[in-house]
Amino acid sequence: MSAPHEPLGLDNGLTNYGDRDFARYLRRSMAHSMGVSDELLSKPIVGIATSPSQFNNCHRYMPELAEAVARGVLAAGGLPREFPTISLGEVFLNPTSMVFRNLMSMDVEEMIRGQPMDAVVLIGGCDKTVPAQLMGAASAGRPAIQLVTGPMMTGRHKGERLGACTDCRRFWGKFRAGEIDRVEIKQVETRLATTAGTCAVMGTASTMACITEALGMSLPGTAAIPAVDSQRLVAAEETGKAAVRLARHPITPDQVITSQSVENAFRLLMSLGGSTNAIVHLTAVAGRLGIRISPDRLNQISDETPVLVDLKPVGEGYMEDFHAAGGVGAVLRELKPLLHLDCLTIDGTTLRQRLETPAGWVDRKVIRSFEQPISPVGGLIALSGTLAPHGAIFKRAAATPALFEVEGRAVVFEGLEDMAARIDSPDLDVNADDILVLKNAGPHGAGMPEAGYLPIPSKLARAGVKDMVRISDARMSGTAYGTIVLHVAPEAAVGGPLATVRSGDRIRLSVANKRIDLLVDEAEIQRRLAQWSPPPKPERGYAALYRNTVLQAPEGCDLDFLVGRAKAPAST
Ligand code: FES
């Protein structure tokens, strides 16, 4: 536990009137107008950062969670003060929530720093919200603890369980292939997401919730509790109490998010077979504190870390099964020999202390032992090569092994509109062993939407083709699967080699060598680049700020002026 500290409470960061006593008196007067007593105004203040919105289904129970956090704060002798930030509902934002992650992080950072609080509880859930909150809190530098909203429960359809959103894609694929009709897809639509909470599989939201626990930024055992389980409210109350302890014994995010805890988080990501998006988000969170994990180190971690968790989209189960099976704690205990155990966590204990007690009963159908993994190597790898000189990401756990070592003819789409217009055309010149390529869907090109899961052209889907190699500078939903190369950098819109690919070029993917190569002469690539011109930029507002400053995927897609100073890399 850190040294005791006298919380400043309401005196934190007084408003600048040039008269501190006046500022204090005025602030207390306005606080009294909210009906808060003198006694409570003298307590440590815990901010509760919330983001409920009727455009965010995943945060539907957030008001009840905030109430439970406040209860915990009061019980521990603090004054809770809830405050809103913007909310990012994954499927309600255009062009993509990814563009707004950095905006939310700035909102979180400035509101933590600008308002009088000794510690803050961050409540988030939907894909971009937890990364945004961790990024903002890391930059703000105040004691902070994360609470997630928790995953949805599954629905039912014709005797099988359904969970957003792996099953959303599976049934959409069946509909596109003509295997189910319009009436059935309509029924499925109402059965995929039936409760509050984040998507029910190991998608981006769940992966980030688990990563947060592995980083040590949330209480142990809290990542996977379903949103509607009463234990989630207990976890919220406990998080409120922990925040008061943080106010009195400060631990700041930079003490918890270190190069070693980031490596632990990457290990967990590999063993979960988790979302490719988590690499971008964890890189951005770490980047706020000047921490960088190289692609080679990422691959080393992946090659050493087995996949232990059998959940969709790479396996069978859902998050409710993961929670019942033992959750993050059970996985971390299996990974113990590979982890940096001296990392400090937000409750003042080390990871070693957190993992000292045995896991208890573990459902080995869902969480395998280290000795009997689902796969001996991790779920994600970094690729490089002439098509992606600065890197690309490949989720080998969700891909078809028969497509790991292939060379094929490129079928190129110049952008999202081109793909939408032609992918299902009966005239599209495409065969099952071709490689589909999407350009101009990276951070600069389109805000990096989750468009990397290119649909199988319908004429091939109807012929029974289930998977093809697909390459883009886009991202992919954490709930999606297939032989898909993502995050190609530099992206097409900044003149990366991807910009030069033409239909008919040959491309080679080698998972064994971790390479993605465009088999075109360098001189020809340079000749094509000389004829290339960048797409136009937006001229005003946040879109212009984003476009002028966003970094490439290997740097976390943060805005360049928000990244922290570099620190020494982790020891290997
Ligand atoms: Fe929010 Fe999937 S829509 S986590």
pLDDT tens readout for residues 279-322: 999 999 999 999 999 999 999 999 999 999 999 998 999 999 99
Q: If you take atom 2 of ligand 1, which residue's CA is the nearest one?
A: 199
Q: Which residues contact 273 (CB under 8 A, 6 or more apart)?
A: 202, 307, 309, 311, 314, 315, 374, 375, 379, 395, 397, 398
- The verdict on the CB of residue 177 being under 6 Å from ligand 1 is no
Q: If you take atom 1 of ligand 1, which residue's CA is the nearest one?
A: 126
How far is residue 438's CA from residue 554's CA, in Å, rounded to a whole number? Answer: 18
How far is ligand 1, taken at its centre, from the CA of residue 199, in Å? 5
How far is residue 504's CA from residue 409's CA, in Å, rounded to a whole number? Answer: 5
- The verdict on the CB of residue 450 being under 6 Å from ligand 1 is no
How far is residue 70's CA from residue 74's CA, in Å, rounded to a whole number? Answer: 6
How far is ligand 1, taken at its centre, from the CA of residue 210, in Å? 15
Specify the 3-state DSSP secondary structure of 240: helix
How far is residue 344's CA from residue 143's CA, in Å, rounded to a whole number? Answer: 13
The distance from CA 407 to its chain's CA centroid, rounded to whole angstroms, is 31
Write down the mean pLDDT value for the chain.
96
How far is ligand 1, taken at its centre, from the CA of residue 381, in Å? 24
Radius of gyration of the chain measured on its C-alpha atoms: 24
- The verdict on the CB of residue 213 being under 6 Å from ligand 1 is no
Query: Model confidence at 409, in pLDDT bands (50, 70, 90)?
Result: very high
How far is ligand 1, taken at its centre, from the CA of residue 127, in Å? 6
Whole-structure pTM value: 0.96
Question: From the alpha carbon of 479, which atom of ligand 1 is closest?
Answer: 2
How far is ligand 1, taken at its centre, from the CA of residue 415, in Å? 25
Query: For a substitution probing ligand 1, which of 51, 59, 60, 127 has the most ligand atoms within 8 Å of its CB?
Result: 127
Phi first, then psi: give them for residue 517, nearest 5 degrees.
-125, 140
Q: Alpha carbon of 479 to those of 273, 306, 365, 419, 537: distances in Å?
A: 11, 20, 20, 21, 31
- The verdict on the CB of residue 91 being under 6 Å from ligand 1 is yes
DSSP 241: H
Residue percentage of the chain with pLDDT more than 90: 94
- The verdict on the CB of residue 192 being under 6 Å from ligand 1 is no
Q: Specify the residue for token string 């779920």.
A: 379
- Looking at residue 568, what is its pLDDT? 47
- Looking at residue 31, what is its pLDDT? 96
| Domains, the chain, ordered by start | 9-153+195-355 (3.40.50.2300), 155-189 (no CATH), 382-555 (3.50.30.80)
- Looking at residue 569, what is its pLDDT? 47
| Token pair listed for 509 | 């993917």
Q: Alpha carbon of 191 to those of 66, 359, 478, 481, 513: distances in Å?
A: 28, 34, 20, 21, 42
Alpha helices (H) along 392-438: 416-422
How far is ligand 1, taken at its centre, from the CA of residue 164, in Å? 8
- The verdict on the CB of residue 127 being under 6 Å from ligand 1 is yes
* pLDDT tens-digit readout, 21-75: 999 999 999 999 999 999 999 999 999 999 999 999 999 999 999 999 999 999 9
C-beta pairs of 232-238 under 8 Å, 24+ apart in sequence: 232/65, 232/149, 232/150, 233/64, 233/65, 233/68, 234/68, 235/147, 236/65, 236/66, 236/68, 236/69, 236/72, 236/123, 236/147, 237/68, 237/69, 237/71, 237/72, 237/75, 238/72
- The verdict on the CB of residue 108 being under 6 Å from ligand 1 is no
Give yes or no for residue 524 having a pLDDT over 80.
yes
| Token pair listed for 36 | 């808060």
- The verdict on the CB of residue 264 being under 6 Å from ligand 1 is no
* pLDDT tens-digit readout, 104-133: 999 999 999 999 999 999 999 999 999 999
* pLDDT tens-digit readout, 442-474: 999 999 999 999 999 999 999 999 999 999 999
Single-letter code of the amino acid located at 529: L
Question: From the alpha carbon of 56, which atom of ligand 1 is closest?
Answer: 1
* pLDDT tens-digit readout, 225-238: 999 999 999 999 99
Average pLDDT over residues 508-533: 96
- Looking at residue 571, what is its pLDDT? 42
How far is residue 72's CA from residue 68's CA, in Å, rounded to a whole number? Answer: 6
Average pLDDT over residues 412-423: 97
| Token pair listed for 209 | 């919730």
- The verdict on the CB of residue 58 being under 6 Å from ligand 1 is yes
Q: How many CA atoms lie within 13 A of 267 on its CB side?
A: 24
How far is ligand 1, taken at its centre, from the CA of residue 263, in Å? 25
Give yes or no for residue 177 having a pLDDT over 70.
yes
- Looking at residue 480, what is its pLDDT? 83
- The verdict on the CB of residue 107 being under 6 Å from ligand 1 is no
